[in-house]
């Protein structure tokens, strides 16, 4: 399993390195050393949306659109290539010093489907991960990343972290919170 995972990581790094989109972090190089694999990405100056929201919660609608619409454009490129990010949250949306947003941290990214797929690792950022990410056999797809990005919007609009998917299954009051 370790060798399979290492091979998948290199294959995924190779694909991610092909992306050239202004709102996706650029992978410059990938290599194997010390019995594992690495990705080298561009350094970008700025701060995460998480940091911004802690300092200035509930930004204006125009500000949110200037951040989220370009991220959606970048995410579309990722999905068209058959990948899922699987860890979209405010700390993985980076705002460069010039204000241009960047989707970062593809450490959890995986190819969707395919004959070489095994059960995916359960990756969970509570409040941002959809229910299907709570198990390794969940039916994940582009909708999973959209759910997570919706959690980012929820956080920005309400000033509160979104409820986790398991809690929402028991009693979903997320729409009530947004309506107030």
Active site residues: 87
List of residues 6+ apart from 14 with CB closer than 8 A: 30
* Ordered DSSP codes for 59-100: --HHHHHHHHHHHHHHHHHHHHTTEE----SGGGEEEETTS-
List of residues 6+ apart from 84 with CB closer than 8 A: 78, 109, 110, 111, 112, 140, 141, 142, 144, 145
């Amino acid at each position: 399993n370790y060798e399979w995972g290492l091979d998948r990581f290199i294959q995924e790094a190779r694909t991610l390195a092909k992306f050239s989109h202004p709102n996706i972090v650029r992978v410059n190089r990938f290599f194997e050393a010390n019995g594992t694999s690495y990705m080298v990405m561009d350094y970008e100056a700025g701060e995460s949306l998480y940091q911004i929201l802690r300092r200035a919660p509930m930004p204006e609608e125009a500000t949110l659109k200037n951040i989220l619409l370009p991220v959606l454009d970048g995410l579309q490129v990722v999905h068209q290539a058959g990948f899922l990010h699987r860890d979209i949250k405010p700390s993985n949306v980076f705002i460069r010093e010039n204000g241009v947003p960047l989707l970062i941290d593809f450490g959890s990214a995986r190819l969707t489907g395919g004959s070489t797929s095994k059960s995916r690792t359960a990756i969970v950022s509570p409040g941002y991960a959809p229910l299907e990410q709570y198990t390794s056999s969940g039916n994940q797809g582009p909708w999973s990343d959209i759910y997570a990005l919706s959690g980012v919007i929820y956080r920005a609009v309400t000033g509160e972290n979104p409820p986790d998917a398991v809690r929402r299954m028991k009693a979903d009051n997320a729409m009530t919170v947004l309506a107030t």
